Amino acid sequence: MTLRFSKVLPALAFSLALTGEAHAAACLSAQEAAAEQIRLLQTQMMVGALQCRGQSDRGQRVIYNQFIKQFGPELIASNDTLIAYFQRVYGVGFRRQMDSHVTAMANRISSESYKIRDYCGQIATLGQTVLKSNLKDLKHIAASAPLSHALASESCDAAGAANRVISTD
């Protein structure tokens, strides 16, 4: 028994070390965390534009289209940052993982939005605020969007800093 245990213990220690290294590699930099927040904002506005048509329509679709036009270069840059993150963490399979993450994000936002009183009104107000902002403000606004905190990824910094791990579950 001792012989087996002596072989298992080093293997377990090595496995845990690899898990820690993989977890550290998955941590978001400040730039990646900001890109994730902007993606959350964009997705919330997109879901609002789709869900709030008709009865609760307060111009969310028009606001979303204006948002895309006004912040297109910043949205592309944020997307490129997220692509680089997924390439770094997932390697060759990054595209499938990123697609899974973005789809899951939209599905969670859609599901959670039904739990928020007057989500459509909040998204319309948020959109109007966004359209009056600049890029610097956009990052702060993104962090305060209705579902941004509910959907924030797990913190992986022992000090509790803003670095996170993006989950593809």
The 10s digit of each residue's pLDDT in 30-65 is 888 888 889 989 999 999 899 888 766 778 889 999
| pLDDT of amino acid 115 | 87
What is the number of structural domains in the chain? 1
* Average pLDDT of span 124-144: 83
Query: CA-to-CA distance for 103 and 46, rounded, in angstroms?
Result: 12
Please choose, from the candidates 14, 41, 60, the residue with its C-alpha nearest in 3D space to the C-alpha of residue 152: 41
Residue span of the structural domain in which 68 resides:
28-165
Assess if residue 67 is contained within a domain.
Answer: yes
64-93 burial code (b ≥16 CB/10 A, e <16): beebeeebeebbeebbebbeebbeebbeee
Assess if residue 91 is contained within a domain.
Answer: yes
Assess if residue 20 is contained within a domain.
Answer: no
Length of the chain: 169
Assess if residue 10 is contained within a domain.
Answer: no
Query: CA-to-CA distance for 122 and 82, rounded, in angstroms?
Result: 26
For residue 6, pLDDT over 80 is answered with no
For residue 90, pLDDT over 90 is answered with yes
